[in-house]
Structure 1
Amino acid sequence: MGKTIFMNAFDMNGAMHNSHGLWKHPDNERHRYKDLDYWVEIARLLERGKFDALFLADVAGIYDVYRQSGAPAIRDGVQVPLNDPALIVPAMAYATKHLSFAVTVTTTYEHPYAHARRFSTLDHLTKGRLAWNIVTSYLPNAAQNYGLSEMIRHDTRYERADEFLEVAYKLWEGSWEEDAVVRDAARNVYTEPSKVHKIHHDGTFFKVPGPHLSEPSPQRTPVLYQAGSSERGRAFAAKHAECVFVGGQTNETLKFYVDDIRQQAEKLGRDPQSVKMFTGLNVIVAETKEEAQLKLEQYSSLWSREAAIAQFAGSSGYDLAAYDPDSYLEYRNTDHGQTRAAQFTKFASKKLTVREVMDRIGTLGGQGWVCVGTPKEVADYMQEKVEQTGIDGFNLAHLITPGSLREFVELVVPELQRRGIYKRDYEEGTLREKLFGPGHRLLPDHHPAARYRRRATASV
């Protein structure tokens, strides 16, 4: 028996996530993303499968790097059309008891004052089942739509993110004392003014006097997710994140990221085991190997090469259409996603031509992130990944919605449970308590946010 595997479903509030071209499959119901009933059905399915959370990705612009045009992405639904991920959470929370929700919000274009209130509200409405996936945005179209002539540089985005987190921590952890709201009718006092504090933040990127508008929510600070495997991204994760979404072409690369982030966290005074590590997973599963292979062939026939390359171009900064297809793709530092830029260059086992890279991206499974097989084979793969890399769980993508999720719940989850590596029931409490155990409703004292907490003061 190994450690219990945590499981998130990886999705977006849009017509398509990363299942390029598979909107054409007759069983795909992704077009229903505009319907609350659709999301409630997804949430109930995931809770039946004892998933820990629905992880909602997001982007702030159109993928328009490939061919210097947004047309390929728009034509094939590459994360567009796309709706706000936060607005579907309350309905799903109302329909479930334990499923949690990780919502992506960028620190590059949002403002921490408004963001803090929105997430306090969601943490209240979900009874503490909320996480924030912290990202820095890279698409040129996003920068333009937020009034900038060009993208903010990669490292500057992380400097802004650090200060964004500082402001949010001050608002969530330090502005309101735990017992500020008294609702004392005899004294005609709803909230003790002496227990609500301004934060007086005056920094490089933000000036926020405070106080926070919302009273303390069940977790105060939502569980903090972060996705980013660049050197700067790993340092940021080690400082702030409780859950980290990392990728890696090989188990060795994945283990390096896991070990590096935990070692950096320990050097900063944090408990390294207080950082849960997740990686991506896509599954095509059936009762027999032959059935699974037939599904792979069917899905592959619908896969969109152009859409996949357009998504890669936006996330890496490499417009492969502008390269000589027979030249080798060399690493070039960009202000897009540096890990994505290194995927077929620095992280490749051998030098690849642009044509070879396009062939890998343009083929379902060509990037090595699809596990195809029987429930036993899928469970073997997952268990081996956990044991060899030190990860704690997976962000499960899905090619056909909700069919791929339903197949995982009905076929793979029972196999994992039989092995004793997957929960048979939920723990009680907030998301943080479900991840880290009873009594861990709030961020631990070794987390940098804890320095902004106030001791309780006597009322005047």
Structure 2
Amino acid sequence: MSRKQILFNAFNMNCVGHINHGLWTHPRDRSIEFNSLEYWTDLARLLERGLFDGLFIADIAGVYDVYRQSVELTLREAIQLPVNDPLMLVSAMAGATRHLGFGVTASLSYEPPYLLARRLSTLDHLSRGRVGWNIVTGYLESAARALGLERQVEHDRRYDQADEYLEVLYKLWEGSWEDGAVLEDRAGRRYADPARVHKVEHHGEFYRVEGYHLCTPSPQRTPLLFQAGTSERGRRFAGRHAEGVFINGQQPQAVAEQVRQVRAEAVAAGRPADAVKLFMGLTVIVAPSAAEARDKHAEYLRHANPEAGLAHLSSSIGIDLDAYDLDEPIRYRKTNAIESVAKTFTAPGSGWTKRKLLEQHALGGRYPAIVGSPQQVADAIAEWVERTDLDGFNLTRTVTPESYADFIDLVVPELQDRGLYKTAYAEGSLREKLFAAGARLPASHPGAAWRALSRTDARARRA
């Protein structure tokens, strides 16, 4: 078995129903308190007690209205609606913790890079370098319409736009302020050295930016970069930019191939294969004994809503699954939603039908579920890592915060005994904790080049 220490994020969303739909009805679930700041600070303290690497917060900008061409079920089951801004949570949770990282999702399709750069730098300052950005381009037609467009930009074209967006951000984060630009010289009345602060001038296909980054360099400058797309175009983007990639899968062989492909793309982009950490979505239901875990699983099933899971999946693949008979094969058609998910469930010969999807979504979500005693759960997690070369997992919530507390109290000690889980946090920023290297982008990352260019330009102007 592999002896590398496994990374864990809690996978959550600023809403009632995230992945495992329907479980908000469980009497011990607190997710309807999501509008309360205490709900989030309590969760952050719990996760830090369990030495979680981070809280990964998903987000969407639209609504799930593909299933039955309606939001009726979406509203009745709170399927990621309502959903609040994820970035607003970080300051309070960072103040309540010292080490926990925060991966926040923000779509680049609908926000100017100049303003997002400031928001993320601000959070990186306030958290002392514990912020990561989950880069998404969006996939919901409802979001595009809500933001004034007839339809969203075509899938691969969104990644072309994303490449340029990241270039603008690197110029702002890495190139606008040199190291040493901040003087804080009270006696000399010089807060910053004007010769070391540079205007970004970007005139590209998608963006025109002329201005100075509004923030001084934060501990990481560029926040840790996460990405979740595993389509062919998404993998190329990840290979160039991402430091953490979130993948999904049901079978170890398929997940191992995704891991291999992402690492190969990193190498093709001139980066080391281990420059990217791979995380898989996973649900864990654990109890002191296997029998108790099975009983808990059965209890959760009575509250879950598989049909709500299908409504979520319908928007993910852009196909109304309500239109299919129970045993009718799900047919592929080109959509502008999540390409990798659509191909998984609609590929010829895949055998997916509405009945099988309902069975898969018994807990309200489609992620693999491990049910068992602490020893059984630890065995299964270790086997996933051994067979796939994964670096870690994004753990979904079932009954919250119970599911995280159970994992922390029962599974973490078992993994620690096996040398597969840390026993203390490392010091430093989120990037330092995950990679045991510096706080800032490594030299092999394309974003780091803009730091050197800003110094070269400055020397040329001073010559």
More displaced, 237-246 or 291-300? Answer: 291-300
Change in CA separation of 1:365 and 1:214 when aligned onto 2, cut-off 3 Å: closer
- Equivalent position SS for 1:422: coil
Query: Structure 2 CA distance, aligned partners of 1:36 and 1:413?
Result: 27
Separation in 2, partners of 1:162, 1:83: 27
Residues 157, 112 of structure 1: CA spacing in aligned structure 2 closer, same or farther, 3 A cutoff?
Answer: same
Equivalent-residue separation in structure 1 for 2:327 and 2:10 (angstroms): 38
Give the equivalent residue in structure 2 for 1:26: 27
The 3 A distance-change label for structure 1 pair 82 and 232 is: same
**Corresponding letter in the other structure for 1:405:** Y
Q: CA deviation at 1:368?
A: 5.7
* Alignment partner, residue 297 of structure 2: 296
The 8 Å contact of residues 120 and 216 in structure 1, kept in 2 or not, is answered as yes
| Counterpart code for 1:382 | I
The answer (yes or no) to whether the contact 1:308–1:361 under 8 Å persists in 2 is no
Q: Partners of 2:200 and 2:367 in 1: how far apart? A: 47
Moved more, 337-346 or 319-328: 319-328
Q: CA deviation at 1:330?
A: 2.1
Q: Is the 8 A contact 1:13 1:84 kept in 2?
A: yes
Structure 2: stretches of 5+ with no match in the other structure: none
Q: Distance in 2 between matches of 1:289 and 1:343?
A: 31
Give the deviation of 1:331 after TM superposition.
2.1
Pairwise CA distance, 1:358: 3.8
Aligned pair count reads 457
Partners of 2:54 and 2:257 lie apart in 1 by 25
Partner of 1:400: 399
Query: Could you tell me whether the CA contact under 8 Å between 2:47 and 2:100 is conserved in 1?
Result: yes
Aligned to 1:155: 156
Partner-residue secondary structure (3-state), 2:133: strand
Q: Distance in 2 between matches of 1:429 and 1:349?
A: 49
User: SS of 2:278's equivalent?
Assistant: strand
User: Which digits, 9 at most, give the CA deviation of each residue in 1:139-189, with x for residues without a partner?
Assistant: 111111110011211111111111111111110000111111112233322
> Which residue of structure 2 aligns with residue 411 of structure 1?
410
Indicate yes or no: 2:431 matched with 1:432: yes
Cα distance in 2 for partners of 1:363, 1:333 equals 27
Tell me the distance in 1 between the aligned counterparts of 2:325 and 2:439: 54
1:209 is paired with a residue whose SS is strand
1:455 is matched with 455
Give the match for residue 352 of structure 2: 352
How far apart are residue 277 of structure 1 and its match? 0.6
Q: Any idea what SS the aligned residue of 1:287 has? A: coil
Deviation at 1:271, TM superposition (A): 1.0
Amino acid at match of 1:199: V
Is 1:63 the equivalent of 2:64? yes
Worse overlay, 327-336 or 265-274: 327-336
Q: Which residue of 2 aligns with 1:370?
A: 369
Aligned to 1:441: 439
Q: Could you tell me how far apart the structure 2 residues matched to 1:351 and 1:16 are?
A: 28
SS of 1:208's partner is: strand
In the alignment, is the contact (CA less than 8 A) between 1:344 and 1:357 conserved in 2? no
CA–CA separation in structure 2 for the residues paired with 1:430 and 1:351: 45
In 1, Cα distance between the equivalents of 2:351 and 2:408? 39
Secondary structure class of the residue paired with 1:395: strand
Matches within 5 A, 1:243-392: 243-346=244-347, 350-353=350-353, 355-364=354-363, 367=366, 369-392=368-391
Please report how far the alpha carbon of residue 255 of structure 1 lies from its aligned counterpart in structure 2 after TM superposition: 0.8
The 8 Å contact of residues 32 and 38 in structure 1, kept in 2 or not, is answered as yes
- Cα distance between partner residues in 2 of 1:88 and 1:116: 17
Give the Cα separation in 2 of the matches to 1:442 and 1:161: 21
C-alpha deviation, 1:339, in angstroms: 1.6
Q: Tell me how far apart the structure 2 counterparts of residues 56 and 7 of structure 1 sit (CA, whole Å).
A: 13
On the 8 A contact 1:309/1:361 being kept in 2, the answer is no
Q: Cα distance, 1:352 vs. partner?
A: 3.0
| C-alpha distance in 2 between matches for 1:265 and 1:164 | 19
User: Partner of 1:205 in structure 2?
Assistant: 206
Contact 1:360–1:366 under 8 Å retained in 2: no
Contact 2:304 2:364 in 1 (8 A): no
Equivalent pair of 1:320/1:358 in contact (CA under 8 Å): no
Q: For each residue in 1:12-49, what CA deviation from the matched residue of structure 2 results, as whole angstroms up to 9, or x when unmatched?
A: 01112112111110000001111111111100100000
Superposed CA RMSD in Å reads 1.7
Shift of 1:306: 2.5
For the residue of structure 2 that corresponds to 1:158, the secondary structure is helix
Distance 1:368 1:74, change over 3 A: closer
Shift of 1:362: 4.1
Confirm or deny: 8 A CA contact 1:359 1:366 kept in the other structure.
no
C-alpha deviation, 1:213, in angstroms = 0.5
Contact 1:249 1:343 in 2 (8 A): no
Cα contact 1:199–1:211 (8 A) shared by 2: yes
**Is this contact kept in 2: 1:63–1:141, CA < 8 A?**
yes
Q: Does 1:44 align with 2:45?
A: yes
1:225 equivalent in structure 2: 226
Structure 2 Cα separation of the partners of residues 363 and 324 of structure 1? 18
Q: Distance in 1 between matches of 2:436 and 2:49?
A: 21
Change (3 A) 1:31 1:150: same
SS in structure 2 opposite 1:331?
Answer: coil
Instruction: Report the Cα distance in structure 2 between the residues aligned to 1:380 and 1:338, rounded to whole angstroms.
Output: 32
CA distance in 2, matches of 1:39, 1:436: 27
TM-aligned CA deviation for residue 374 of structure 1: 0.4
* Alignment partners' CA distance in 2, 1:382 and 1:34: 33
Structure 1 residue identity aligned to 2:51: K
Q: Distance in 1 between matches of 2:381 and 2:405?
A: 18
| Structure 1 unaligned spans of 5+ | none
Which range is displaced more, 45-54 or 332-341?
332-341
Instruction: Tell me which residue corresponds to 1:195.
Output: 196
Take 1:211 and 1:426, find their aligned partners in 2: how far apart are those partners? 36
Tell whether the 8 Å contact from 1:170 to 1:452 is kept in structure 2 after alignment.
yes
C-alpha separation in 2, matches of 1:205 and 1:305: 41
